[in-house]
Structure 1
Amino acid sequence: MKKFTKVFIISLVISVIFIAWGVLYPKGLQQATGSIQNFLQVKFGWFYLLSATGFLIFSIYLIFSKYGKIKLGKDDDKPDYSLVTWFAMLFSAGMGIGLVFWGVAEPLFHYYDPPSGNGETVESANASLRYAMFHWGLHPWGIYTVVGLALAYFKFRKGAPGLISAIFRPLLGDRVNGPIGILIDVIAVFATVFGVATSLGFGAAQISGGISYLFEGVANNQVTQLIIIAIVTVLFILSASTGLNKGIKYLSNINIVLALGLMFFLLFAGPTNFIMDVFTQTLGSYVQNLPTMSFRLGPYSETTQDWTQAWTVFYWAWWIAWAPFVGMFIARVSKGRTIREFVLGVLLVPTIFSALWFSVFGGSAVFMDRMEGTGLYSIMTDNGTEIALFALFEQVPLGGIMSIIAILLISTFFITSADSATFVLGMQTTNGSLNPSNYIKFIWGGVVAASAAILLYSGGLQALQTASIIAAFPFTFIMIAIVFATVKALKEDYNLNFKNK
């Protein structure tokens, strides 16, 4: 293997140009990316919705298809990790920071500003949890499934390099080794860098907000956020140097313990019966309304259309931007599982956990704001979205301790996400090496951290959302092609090895 591949060099040059642009002309960067984002949201919102729903339908089809018994590996391969560890690793990489950031804030936003109708009503309260569950449920994990399954199948069963471009061999043949393959991998790197930078920016903002909310004298501003990014960058680079089976594995298990601890504490310290009633009702409402929500754009209502673009289109773009990163990571830890087991695990377990998470945190927030008049929404809008969680903990016993634990959880999620990202970016830019050098991982760690810092510096949280939507657009086309390549390969595999058995 060459020390530096073409994918590495091209991707790094593009990333450095972006970072330099943000340092030298932050306003120019904000204006340019904002214009592109607005164009994509307005003109291609339908495309994001159809694509995300199509990926979910394809994933569900695989569960019941004849291909479900095919292994992601050789027929005698066994899984490398236990189910608990496997879930912890994919969940920590998949959406950990985002759940903590939006768990309280998103339902509150939807309660006061629903997709249709008036806010602060019974209807908007029901919709608030249903749409939060919708945005964090089956659709994102269906998106991850498409990329993760294809990567694991071609890597461990076909012996192909662990690259996005390698999936396209059934469609392109040897041309995947040329400029087309390089372009595919560069787009995947681009999406990964800015998808992860978005989450790290959210994490830094929330850590800063939490510390400033708990400790007087600490300002919640860009300087504090940049210092946090610098500190956590050092920590995740140290973690990355220990390898997959040490740093990421152990921190992922810690994440799950802390997340479960916070969730169950609030479940029993908060309005327990109300939370479980909300969970039960919202889960049923989510399943019942899933088809309608999946295709809802609101062309006859400007308010509904703007809401959908600001929330659903943003989320689908964010998950697609994360797909090469999370897909490659969960592929790496899923060797030896059957396609059916993989899809069921990736779709259902995180979806149910996310539903319970939003019921506990979002349900408690809406209950306290609506039933007890605590003014959580006003506190959040006055002080910033990032302090919503800490304002909620202020309403329950031992809230200060819980807030400190929450900051620790966000920090460990930050480290595992960035750690996983450096590993995946190292794989993508070293011809699919399962053990990229620390040197390469450190470079990408610096790039991701710098990108998150530049996005916050140039436009705050809005810039983070903008980057995700832009990065996801070209990769969506790649994902559509991945579906066709995967089906073609599975069909050939089944006819050769299973049809007559």
Structure 2
Amino acid sequence: MKKVSKVFYITLVLVAIAVTFGAAFPAQFETITGNIKSFVATSFGWYYMLLMSAMVIFSIIIAVSPYGKIRLGKDHERPDFSTPSWIAMLFSAGMGIGLVFYGAAEPLFHYAFDSPIAEVGSGAAFKDGLSYSYFHWGIHVWAMYGITALSLAYFQFRKDEPALVSSTLKPLFGDKMNGPLGVLIDVLAVFATVFGVATSLGFGAVQINGGLSHLFGIEVGFTSQFVIIAVVTLLFLLSAWSGLSKGIKYLSNTNMVLAVILLIVVIIVGPTLLILNMFTETFGLYLQNLLEMSFRTAPLEGDNRSWLDGWTIFYWAWWISWAPFVGMFIARISRGRTIRQFITGVIVIPTLFISIWFAAFGSTAGDIQNSGTVDLTQFSTELVLFNMFDHVPLSLFLSIVAILLIASFFITSADSATFVLGMQTTKGSLTPPTTVKIVWGLAQSAVALILLYVGGLTAIQNTIIVAALPFSFVMIFMIIGLFKALSEEKNK
């Protein structure tokens, strides 16, 4: 443990306090986080919308500018990983469980339960459900991840700075980043990472529990979720022990294979022609309405502000809370790529795959809902997918593959996060000690369990929005610092 920094001990204490308070006073914990969440969503919704849109604009500017030719590393270096493995790893770390959790449920919710704009149950609502799902998981998200990762990778591999968030702010604050201010920045990043990843672990445990209950009658509840998290924690700690080039790489490739199999089978056994037509039209609507979606704040009475807070603002906060983890991880696997290659790969490929995913699962769920065979909206979010499978061929096969995919995503996200948390708390070491990774792995699982114990998915969503706000301000400085450093390099 000689490598560990002050950030490790400070953040571990803060996480321990939060976990202890949540376990001892669950009702108060949920109330407090709920109140803060309501305040943040109401008061800072406009800020989140502007920030995420700024990330997209800045990404485009950097990619098409002369800066795009700069390599993330020395001029002679080439990528450490093949393009397929690189895509698999960034995709698994960046989305993972949530894609399976919301793939059918989110478009269905917007269509049949609460539409952002159109009349519920109408054809327009069906299309909006898909285009808004692309919006929540597409270009904005990956632009934000891309800029965060780009800043980290540039300073880490081009400028030989430690793999720390604080290193990206040195163009603005200089040596102050080597002192208490730098420690504060890194503590914010680690704290946001722990709670952001714990959120996905909570979602994963709930959906695995739901799938096992649907297939085998296993009881849904905290006890079952505790066992699931305990088992998966053991598995991802074993993976973390094996290192980046083995465990995470193999798991990420497994994720992509399982995800592609599931997607292709759903397209074949589902309403194939509807899926293809809906994807073509709704992806066009997404691109056509991107500007309007990006700046929608629902300021007036009757604008369905509750929908915006519960979906778009929640998602933007969730992705921001993931930014230190995903950004650090994508940076670590992207050495040797040019900025233009990097931004194009990080934004375009995941956005296309995710849009096809939502078109397949969302169109299938909507078609079943329209048929009147079953009302899928009666089921909780984690059960929509499995009940949808009941009404297409190969139901058992699809359900089993989905559970395996969730478990694999679960392990990969947690494994990647332990690696990144280890880097951030050992002064930027690219090979953090296994003991540090194990400590953070256990801490993530403990936070996920506490969030499930104190209030299930509601507590999880509350905590995300609270944890993301402080780090969002750091991201603004990261963008300014990156632009300043790139300008200085080009002007030499």
Correspondence for 2:363: 363
Alignment match of 2:420 (pick from 420, 424, 428): 424
Following the alignment from structure 1 to structure 2, what is the Cα–Cα distance between the partners of residues 42 and 298? 11
Matched letter for residue 59 of structure 1: S
Following the alignment from structure 1 to structure 2, what is the Cα–Cα distance between the partners of residues 256 and 157? 30
Following the alignment from structure 1 to structure 2, what is the Cα–Cα distance between the partners of residues 89 and 325? 13
Matched letter for residue 186 of structure 1: V
Correspondence for 2:102: 102
The SS at the match of 1:4 is coil
The SS at the match of 1:465 is helix
| 1:440-487 deviations in Å (ceiling 9; x for gaps) | 000000000000010011011011111111111001100011110000
Q: Superposition pairs for residues 191-230 of structure 1, below 5 Å?
A: 191-216=192-217, 218-230=218-230
1:156 aligns with 2:157: yes
Correspondence for 1:324: 324
The SS at the match of 2:104 is helix
| Cα distance, 1:376–1:424 mapped onto 2, change above 3 Å | farther
Unaligned segments of structure 2, at least 5 residues:
none
Following the alignment from structure 1 to structure 2, what is the Cα–Cα distance between the partners of residues 256 and 138? 20
Correspondence for 1:138: 139
Following the alignment from structure 2 to structure 1, what is the Cα–Cα distance between the partners of residues 372 and 240? 45
Shift of residue 123 of structure 1?
1.2
| Cα distance, 1:36–1:57 mapped onto 2, change above 3 Å | same
Following the alignment from structure 2 to structure 1, what is the Cα–Cα distance between the partners of residues 489 and 375? 55
Shift of residue 87 of structure 1?
0.3
Structure 1 length-normalised TM: 0.97
Following the alignment from structure 2 to structure 1, what is the Cα–Cα distance between the partners of residues 259 and 488? 42
| Cα distance, 1:161–1:408 mapped onto 2, change above 3 Å | same
Shift of residue 52 of structure 1?
0.7
1:375 aligns with 2:374: yes
Following the alignment from structure 2 to structure 1, what is the Cα–Cα distance between the partners of residues 453 and 70? 47
Following the alignment from structure 1 to structure 2, what is the Cα–Cα distance between the partners of residues 462 and 350? 28
Following the alignment from structure 1 to structure 2, what is the Cα–Cα distance between the partners of residues 92 and 343? 17
The SS at the match of 1:241 is helix
Correspondence for 1:279: 279
Shift of residue 156 of structure 1?
0.4
Following the alignment from structure 2 to structure 1, what is the Cα–Cα distance between the partners of residues 210 and 89? 27
1:388 aligns with 2:384: yes
Correspondence for 1:499: none
1:434 aligns with 2:430: yes
Matched letter for residue 374 of structure 1: T
Of stretches 414-423 and 291-300 in structure 1, the one that deviates more from structure 2 is 291-300
1:267 aligns with 2:267: yes
8 Å contact kept, 2:163–2:427? yes
Following the alignment from structure 1 to structure 2, what is the Cα–Cα distance between the partners of residues 360 and 452? 30
Shift of residue 302 of structure 1?
4.3
8 Å contact kept, 1:210–1:407? yes
Correspondence for 2:187: 186
Q: How many residues align structurally?
A: 491
1:31 aligns with 2:31: yes
8 Å contact kept, 1:430–1:436? yes
Shift of residue 334 of structure 1?
0.1
Matched letter for residue 393 of structure 1: F
Unaligned segments of structure 1, at least 5 residues:
497-501
Correspondence for 2:167: 166
| 1:247-297 deviations in Å (ceiling 9; x for gaps) | 100010000000000000010111111101011001100000000001111
Correspondence for 1:339: 339
Matched letter for residue 170 of structure 1: P
Shift of residue 303 of structure 1?
5.0
Following the alignment from structure 1 to structure 2, what is the Cα–Cα distance between the partners of residues 285 and 468? 29
| 1:430-449 deviations in Å (ceiling 9; x for gaps) | 00000101100000000000
Correspondence for 1:175: 176
Following the alignment from structure 2 to structure 1, what is the Cα–Cα distance between the partners of residues 359 and 4? 47
Following the alignment from structure 2 to structure 1, what is the Cα–Cα distance between the partners of residues 78 and 117? 49
The SS at the match of 2:451 is helix
The SS at the match of 2:289 is helix
| 1:43-90 deviations in Å (ceiling 9; x for gaps) | 111111111111111111111111000000000001001110000000
Alignment match of 1:453 (pick from 449, 452, 463): 449
8 Å contact kept, 2:4–2:427? no
Matched letter for residue 224 of structure 1: S
The SS at the match of 2:340 is helix
Correspondence for 1:254: 254
Of stretches 109-118 and 151-160 in structure 1, the one that deviates more from structure 2 is 109-118
Correspondence for 2:440: 444
Correspondence for 1:490: 486
Shift of residue 118 of structure 1?
2.0
Following the alignment from structure 1 to structure 2, what is the Cα–Cα distance between the partners of residues 129 and 90? 23
8 Å contact kept, 1:59–1:142? yes
Following the alignment from structure 2 to structure 1, what is the Cα–Cα distance between the partners of residues 424 and 23? 26
Following the alignment from structure 1 to structure 2, what is the Cα–Cα distance between the partners of residues 80 and 254? 19
8 Å contact kept, 2:118–2:128? no
| 1:129-162 deviations in Å (ceiling 9; x for gaps) | 0101100000110110111000000000100000
Following the alignment from structure 2 to structure 1, what is the Cα–Cα distance between the partners of residues 118 and 324? 37
Following the alignment from structure 1 to structure 2, what is the Cα–Cα distance between the partners of residues 336 and 3? 27
Correspondence for 2:349: 349
Shift of residue 2 of structure 1?
3.8
Correspondence for 1:67: 67
Shift of residue 236 of structure 1?
0.4
Following the alignment from structure 2 to structure 1, what is the Cα–Cα distance between the partners of residues 432 and 132? 39
| 1:401-420 deviations in Å (ceiling 9; x for gaps) | 11011101100000000000
Of stretches 417-426 and 113-122 in structure 1, the one that deviates more from structure 2 is 113-122
| Cα distance, 1:6–1:104 mapped onto 2, change above 3 Å | same
> Kindly, what percent of the aligned residue pairs are identical?
54
Following the alignment from structure 1 to structure 2, what is the Cα–Cα distance between the partners of residues 387 and 305? 26
Following the alignment from structure 2 to structure 1, what is the Cα–Cα distance between the partners of residues 27 and 266? 41
Shift of residue 3 of structure 1?
3.8
| 1:292-319 deviations in Å (ceiling 9; x for gaps) | 0011111113452111111000000000
